[in-house]
A = this chain, B = another copy of it.
Amino acid sequence: VAPSYAVDVLTVRKRIRTAEGGRLDEVLRSAGIPLNLYCGGRGLCGKCVVEIVRGKVSPPGGPEAALLAGKGFSPRHRLACMLRVRGPLSVRIPRGSVPGKIRVLDAGFAEKFEPAPAVKKYVIAPEAPSLDAPLSLAESLEKKLGRRLALSPEAVGELPGALVRGGGKVTVTVLDGREILDVESGDETDGCFGVAVDIGTSTVVVELIDLNTGRTRGRTASINAQVRFGPDVVTRISHAYEKPEGLSELSAVIRSQIDEMIRELAGKAGVPTGQIYEIVTAGNTAMTHFLFGVPVNTLAVAPFHGVFAVSPEARAGSLGLNVHPRARVYAAPNVRGFVGGDIAAGLSAVGMSGRTGRVLFVDLGTNGEIVLKAGGATSTTSTAAGPAFEGLSISCGMPALPGAVAEARWSGGFKVRTVGNKDVRGICGTGLIDILAVALAKGLLSSSGRIRTETGDIPVAGEVVLTQADIRGLQLAVAAVKSGVRMMIEQSGLRISDLDEILVAGGFGASLNIRNAMAVGLLPGVPERKVVFVGNTSLAGARKLLLSFPARDAIETYAKKIRHVSLASGRDFQDHFVSALEFGPYSGDV
């Protein structure tokens, strides 16, 4: 028998007994103390740090040591996921290592639209057949509904039993006005639901929606479980591309995560999952390919392109989603290359195709996507901003959870406001922009990105600091967006002052300080009134496409017309990119 040891968790005054050799994060989880494991326990995200107060542990391996040093941790700290218990231990768990409940992201802005879902329920009492007119049950339904219907053998098979149980009355669920999805006994017209899903590279948001009323019945968000295969799109594409089981692993993970989130929402709302008849997703090109289990090899090398743009025709059952098995799964169409369905959904939500003037749409997520509409033509590009703004690659970075610094200003030192006004646990995207702008203004940071403090990092609050490595990450992220925007504007022969509107989408939301965003160079300098925060338009678009069938055709058609600008092939891009590495407002008017 392996010897057992006591692990004392000082922060919660708890003693755990465990057998020799257990992984510390698992020992803690089994005792009800789960840690952040964005990378799935692979020692990559550095979010499960524990402080070893007493007890002997082996020294960290090279990559772990580098990660910890980069984050400014003392030698007493270790990643719990990399540590096996070999003797009695006393540990302290930093607050930043304990997960909080993800705040459900801003639901996003959407233009008004006429609801016209693809799924509709009808309660029908078909005429009884007679000896002289022994109409089939399906024909009697068609007669009542006044249209021809397509039926699966399963739906057909449910008809006679449902009619008997319903005393001659059935509820049929019709998809696209022609296919019977479901047959239920009696009047079940009230139970008609759909799900909108925003599959972000970092965060997945699911909404349960009543298709009769358009009302949201519940919303939930969680870290995309695929982060265990890598925090960004490129790592995941490599995983799918290089490992024999890679693609099916990534597919299975996102499908079961969505499935679980739907079950949670339906359970809370008291909605039977069998009455969920359509799922509309919005995600970038890679996410959508993973969802349908389609190879992403063509996204791995230039010219980066997807296998499909318009959604494949898929049913929930075949994707392993436990809603109604014949529920349709529709993905907002991918636009071009990496510019995916999340952007198409966003453009649908904000009614881009109908907007007049020169409109710049910037979605600041893990990828920074830019869409420019001017003179009736629309062009797009995507930049590899990386997950910095979402907190996944910054030492003190975190999503916009309670305790995350969301705003910062200077008053003899940093004064911060956190999400939920909780104790500071880390910094989320809007906080990072504020801190950058303040640090630049106060001379803590040079415009070339070098930290000028004595400690070599920027202290924000308590243990929360920005390191030089963090600044470099942010510098690259800002430069990616800035150079992309400049290229787009330049290529369409416009100047920044020509822009009538800048729509800022993404997790940042309305708490982004526009002046600070302009000061660091994330957004071009325009009068503030021209900037509109539209929030999570990917989710808003998924909801709109779920509730409006005609909107799908419209966005598919619009997406096909959008021209793709390849940054890599632009001769001036490297020049733009290098000069954009300098923090500061857009120079000139280009």
A residues with CB within 8 A of B: 129-139, 148, 150-153, 155-157, 159-161, 179, 292-295, 297-298, 302-310, 312-314, 318-319, 334, 336-337, 560, 563-566, 568-569
Contact = CB atoms under 8 A, between A and B. Distances in A.
B306 A153 contact: no
B307 A138 contact: yes
Contacts of A303: 129-131, 134
A139 B309 contact: yes
B153 A312 contact: yes
Nearest to A157: B294
Nearest to A333: B136
A305 B152 contact: no
Identify the interface centre among A150, A307, A563: most chain B CB within 10 Å of its CB. Answer: A307
A318 B155 CA distance: 13
Q: A-B pairs with the 6 shortest C-beta distances?
A: A134-B305, A153-B292, A134-B337, A131-B566, A138-B308, A136-B306
B133 A307 contact: no
B314 A152 contact: yes
B137 A308 contact: yes
A136 B305 contact: yes
B298 A133 contact: no
Nearest to A129: B305
Contact of A298 (B137, B297, B313, B314): B137
A337 to B, nearest CB: 4
Contact of A566 (B132, B293, B298): B132
A157 B305 contact: no
11 contacts: A130-B303, A131-B303, A131-B569, A134-B303, A134-B336, A134-B566, A139-B310, A153-B312, A153-B318, A157-B307, A160-B295
A135 B336 CA distance: 6
A415 to B, nearest CB: 46
A312 B566 contact: no
B159 A307 contact: yes
A160 B337 contact: no
A568 B131 contact: yes
Contacts of A566: 131-132, 134
Contact of A136 (B133, B134, B309): B309
Residue of A148, A150, A337 with most chain B CB atoms under a 10 A cut-off: A337
Contacts of A152: 312-314
A312 B156 contact: yes
Contacts of A293: 153, 157
Find the residue from A132, A153, A295, A337 having the highest chain B CB count within 10 A.
A153
Nearest to A132: B566
B156 A308 contact: yes
A568 B560 CA distance: 61
B136 A308 contact: yes
A24 B295 CA distance: 57
A301 to B, nearest CB: 11
Contacts of A302: 131
* Most chain B CB neighbours (cut-off 10 Å) among A134, A295, A306: A134
A187 to B, nearest CB: 21
A572 to B, nearest CB: 15
Contacts of A337: 134
B151 A334 contact: no
A142 B171 CA distance: 38
A225 to B, nearest CB: 20
Given A137-B308, A160-B307, 7 more contacts: A134-B337, A137-B307, A155-B312, A156-B307, A156-B308, A157-B292, A157-B295
A563 B135 CA distance: 10
